[in-house]
Amino acid sequence: MKRIRIMGLVALGTAASLALGACSESGGKKAEEAATAGGPPLTIAMITHSGPGDAFWDIVQKGAQAAAAKHNAKFLYSADPDGGKQAQLVQSAIDKKVDGIIVTFAKPDALKDVVGRAVAAKIPVVSINSGADVSAQYGAIAHFGQDETVAGEAAGRELAEIGAKKALCVIHEQGNVGLEDRCAGAKKTFGGEMQNLFVQGTNMPQVKSSITAKLQSDKSIDGVLTLNAAVAATAVDSVKESGSSAKVATFDLNKDLVRLMKEGSVQFAVDQQPYLQGYEAVDALWLYKTNGNTLGGGRPVLTGPAIVTKDAAAQIEAYANRGTR
């Protein structure tokens, strides 16, 4: 994995969007008007395994909403961490006869049948964030996200590079295959000792208590890898409270995480560009419905991973503050 100071990764979907924007003003605009003429605006539903109040998913939604506004599409959002309830929300979107569905496969077995029903109803499905390995198999026309194992491997190497020898990998949602893949990938490349610590991510006092207790009981732990920016901030507090010298690193970004990186409390973040995932998913459905286009050739369109360090954090701070990084 190439170590970078600022994001330089361009996904196939991004290239497609730039290509659309690069058309001449008259030709591009006329082509778009022709594609949308004669029919009502599209209705696109996004159903994820985590929702409002989660900074990461707020960024995903902002990307999706921006693309929907560009295309004058109606955007519906719903979420539930329970796989069965998430499937019910997908069924509700099918019953509404939406024009396209965006879904996450954090718990893929729970979604397989209902996504199959969407495909049978000729509603195109795009997956984002998790489930790259099952997306095409389940009938989705595209997947936007990062390879979680590869991302974990990048994090493991970076954690070793900053000098950690014994680390925790904090999993905040049990049963989420993507999170488990991250820790497995990190353990593979870390080179030192790494153990998983399961916490309840919806209960930050409990998260703090669990991490603090672990650091207090084992003073040899010198690294904490979290899989969520909010958990990273809590881990920083745990390190201070326990008197540990462990270095904190994480997956994903938000404005608070950028601040912590700038002040040196968090060493690096693995960025998968959530805004891009939401934006390109809506874009992909619009292109499919209006022009028969698909992206990726049956393979995931990668939006990450990339390692963001302190130097890069300062450069993207303005984007993080407006809630798009």
In this predicted model, what pLDDT tens digit does every residue of 91-137 receive, in sequence order?
999 999 999 999 999 999 999 999 999 999 999 999 999 999 999 99
How many domains, in total, are found in the chain? 2
115 and 128, same domain (yes or no): yes
Mean pLDDT of 8-19: 39
pTM: 0.82
Looking at residue 11, its pLDDT comes to: 39
Contacts of 130 (CB under 8 A, 6+ apart): 49, 104, 105, 106, 145, 148, 176, 177, 178
| Domain identity same for 235 and 171 | yes
308 CB-contact burial (10 Å; exposed 0-12 / middle 13-18 / buried 19+):
buried
- The answer to whether residue 52 is domain-embedded is yes
Asked if 275 and 60 touch (Cβ cutoff 8 Å), the reply is yes
- Asked if 90 and 103 touch (Cβ cutoff 8 Å), the reply is yes
Do 220 and 160 reside in the same domain of the chain?
yes
CATH number of 214's domain: 3.40.50.2300
Q: Which residue is it, tokens 């409270």? A: 241
On the question of pLDDT at 22 being above 60, the answer is: no
Give me the domain span that covers residue 187. 148-271
* Residue 325 falls inside a structural domain: no
User: Percent of the chain at pLDDT above 70?
Assistant: 88
Q: Give the model's confidence band at 39: pLDDT under 50 very low, under 70 low, under 90 confident, else very high.
A: low
pLDDT for 45-76, tens place per residue? Answer: 999 998 777 889 999 999 999 999 999 999 99
Q: Does residue 185 have a pLDDT over 50? A: yes
Q: Is 92 part of any domain? A: yes
Question: Percentage of residues in the chain with pLDDT exceeding 90?
Answer: 82
pLDDT at residue 253 tops 60: yes
